Structure 1
Amino acid sequence: MVNNNYSDTSVSQPMKHGSSESAAEGRGKNTRAKVLDMLRSAAGGISGEAMAAQIGVSRVAVWKAVKGLCEAGYEIAGNPEGYALVRDKTDSIDEWEFGADAPRFRHLESTDSTMNRAFDEALRGAAHGLVVTADRQLTGRGMSGKAWNSAAGGLFFTIVTRPGLAVWDSHRMVMAAQCAAAEAVRSATGVECSLDWPNDLLVGSGKIGGILGEGLFSGTTLSFMNLGVGINTGERPDMPGTGAVNGGRKEILDFFLKNFDRIDPESPGLASRWNSKCPRIGQSIIGKTVGGARVEGAFLGIDEAGRARIREDKDTGGYGERLFSPGSLSIETKGWRR
């Protein structure tokens, strides 16, 4: 799913690294998160007055939170105790499902692509770590302008980052996101998830997801780098070579964010971490460069910049080990061992 669409766009003034969301909106999400948590904990119901006192807001604010939750699909009814949660939502990734982190999220029921919405947010000055999620993506984007098949029930989100990296190190953010996603899938499902170059997530031989990197830079420094993540947690796309995992979207997203927030993209051990999760190392490949030149050899893993290390076959006129940046080589055939 990954593409590195780096736009060489000059920025005349420094971007504000603050949230584009108003303080009132952030407080509203926090209140909904706390109200929802209280409703889930109070089997027999709880009064609006009690919730208002515990949260430290007015009863009107609680009423607005309840109304917003009902509009979002949670069924809440009045009873002698006050409010009661009659029907919960299954595997919801609405903002208020993330507790105190709710203001960090923007959730959409349906959108063209979370990448497009996150790009808009980043241009408006969204802070590092903002997450745009969607239940449904109509025109998800993949590598080199290809479409990403957003199968029903999948996990689709984009995280805005401001890493302060040089442009030539930008793929390190994709590497970090791949590692975080693979570890999240394993933690949430117990299924081993591996990596493939330059951007894929695999379970067995099936592609279950990938990372799309898209950034804007001024001179040689990234202004922001957005990372789009798509994981097939529902239906398997009707395409050869794909797969899906049976895991909750919220749980996987929770694990991803915890893992990703702990990864230092400038750490010299990032390539080793990535390589340890790639089963393709040592396997033969056949590919083409963007210029159409044929490449045959063995995939030796990646270097610290995320470039593929290919040991070309000497008997085919190769040059020994060569490095290929993401997007410069398309691997067409891979997977059999020497």
Structure 2
Amino acid sequence: MSERSEVTYGPVEVLDEVGSTNAELMSRALAGAPHGAALRARVQTAGRGRRTHNWASPEGGLYLSILIKPSVPDRVLPGLPVAFALGVVHALVGIGCAGIKLKWPNDIICTRGKLGGILVELKHSMGEAFAVCGLGLNIRAVPFEPSDPSSLPGAGVEDCLPAGSVDSALDDLAAAVRDAALEAVDAWASAIDAAGVDAEPLTGIIAEYNELLAYRDERVRVSTPDGSISLDGVLVGVDTWGSAQVKLADGAIQAYDAALVSIRPVV
């Protein structure tokens, strides 16, 4: 693990209200904020998810963004969101959560539904790559009417705890997530460094990711937003470049890019 993982970080800054913690931290990153800087908002008015989806951010949830400056080659940066997601899972398991899985590419789910989502935004400035890694996490389930019957219902961290309640204050949970995420990213960067020219984006983390992968060895539907792809198959796993491997009806295994398709369980 890199020496940077031994750094002790200060408190996570808390804002009463902000449009988006990712947007705010991105502005600070471009102005020179350091690796490990983190913002939490009590309320977000313009929270965002993947593919420009809005993320409801009422008071009581964890809305957190962390600035990460990974010391890895650009070609492996697609692995950063997975390393970050693994860190989030480590933090949740650390407070006693059970049954946590990652829905490809990096939604946080449990047996009762979706707990949260991750949005990682990469930039280059002054020749240096950095990422703002955002997490929106429900502490209590937020009811909503899904537009698609295969969509997961909302769930909360409380649903994953034996006692049914979160003992940690949001400030403590935010710090635990921040620390676990930075540690996971540092461990990933160390594995990348050790692999040298043979490193691929998920080097060092592929086994754990596949172990946590939701719907692995189950029937899933692969689809695009415009409907140009809609087919069923069995999710075999994820490869070292982060592509979902789906076994189709003819036995062929096809790789799919998360930027292009969604995968949901067949209901």
The normalised TM-score by structure 2 is: 0.77
- Structure 2 partner of 1:116: 23
**Aligned residues: percent identity?**
23
The number of residue pairs the alignment matches comes to: 230
**Structure 2 unmatched runs, 5+:** 1-7, 147-152, 159-165, 192-202
* Matches of 1:229 and 1:131, distance apart in 2: 11
Equivalent position to 1:101, from 3, 6, 9: 9
* 1:270 maps to 2:205: yes
* Matches of 1:307 and 1:146, distance apart in 2: 21
Greater displacement, 247-256 / 144-153: 247-256
* Matches of 1:183 and 1:215, distance apart in 2: 23
* Matches of 2:229 and 2:83, distance apart in 1: 30
Per-residue CA deviations over 1:49-94 (Å, capped at 9, x if unaligned) read: xxxxxxxxxxxxxxxxxxxxxxxxxxxxxxxxxxxxxxxxxxxxxx
The normalised TM-score by structure 1 is: 0.62
Displacement of 1:172 after TM fit?
Answer: 1.4
- Structure 2 partner of 1:196: 103
Per-residue CA deviations over 1:308-337 (Å, capped at 9, x if unaligned) read: 1111221xxx7x112222211122x4156x
- Structure 1 partner of 2:249: 313
* Matches of 2:216 and 2:34, distance apart in 1: 37
Report the CA distance shift for 1:335/1:324 in structure 2 as closer, same or farther (over 3 A).
same
* Matches of 2:240 and 2:145, distance apart in 1: 32
* 1:334 maps to 2:265: yes
- Structure 1 partner of 2:136: 230
* Matches of 2:34 and 2:240, distance apart in 1: 26
- Structure 1 partner of 2:3: none
* Matches of 2:83 and 2:223, distance apart in 1: 26
Do 1:149 and 1:237's aligned partners in 2 also have CA atoms closer than 8 Å?
no
Do 1:151 and 1:232's aligned partners in 2 also have CA atoms closer than 8 Å?
no
* Matches of 1:132 and 1:275, distance apart in 2: 30
Displacement of 1:235 after TM fit?
Answer: 4.8
Displacement of 1:251 after TM fit?
Answer: 3.6
* Matches of 1:273 and 1:245, distance apart in 2: 21
Displacement of 1:189 after TM fit?
Answer: 3.6
Per-residue CA deviations over 1:220-256 (Å, capped at 9, x if unaligned) read: x862111101110145243441111222323432332
* 1:256 maps to 2:192: no
**Superposed CA RMSD:** 2.4
Per-residue CA deviations over 1:82-140 (Å, capped at 9, x if unaligned) read: xxxxxxxxxxxxxxxxxx733x6332110011011011011111111110111111110
Report the CA distance shift for 1:230/1:239 in structure 2 as closer, same or farther (over 3 A).
farther
